[in-house]
Amino acid sequence: MKKELKPSKEMNTYWISAYNEKKKHYEKDSPQSGKWLIFARVGKELDSIWKNIKILTEEGNLVDYCKVSTRKENPNAMNQNIGVICVYTYDSKDKLDLLRVADILFKIKDVEKLYYKEDASTHEGRYSNNGDKNISKYSVTKKNYLKILSPNLISYLKKDSNKI
């Protein structure tokens, strides 16, 4: 049996990854590919959130790839006591997919806020610890993610429900 790596205990590598082993959600990435970022306290909180996301990913119920930062000191981290989980999607313009993934993530205990960062920003070296601002394309909470990610969908559903 493979030993489960906990982000709060691992010090030999910067990242632990998980892959979808069942069904692929995405054919290929677009130029607007990116990831939802979840920041959590290193320790039980990060380990617990990661365990859930890892299972959802490996069972084919979330995305094709995700990763979590470990205890190894990372020069890109603003605070070594806060870890990050990256949940990758193929296209930031596909709001329906972003909404699907965010909806699943917000059902996980302790996930209260999500940031969406396009991979282009990462490839350009844009990080908040470098003083870069406005890096996230979206910043959503449990209370506002539906409104932010699907304003047209909500209007459509409200209009459509009047026909029933």
The CATH number that applies at residue 76 is 3.30.760.10
- How far is the C-alpha of 88 from the C-alpha of 116, rounded, in Å? 9
Q: What confidence category does residue 153 fall into, taking pLDDT thresholds of 50, 70 and 90? A: low
pTM, 2 dp: 0.86
Among candidate residues 5, 63, 58, the one with its CA nearest the CA of residue 34: 63
Which positions ≥6 away from 135 have C-beta within 8 Å? 117, 121, 126, 127, 128
- Residue 9 lies inside a defined structural domain of this protein: no
- Residue 83 lies inside a defined structural domain of this protein: yes
- Residue 10 lies inside a defined structural domain of this protein: no
Domain span at 24: 15-161
Looking at residue 4, its pLDDT comes to: 80
Looking at residue 157, its pLDDT comes to: 55
- Residue 140 lies inside a defined structural domain of this protein: yes
Computed over every residue of the chain, the mean pLDDT equals 86
Number of domains in the chain: 1
Percentage of the chain beyond pLDDT 90 is 59
Question: Does the pLDDT value for residue 130 go beyond 80?
Answer: no
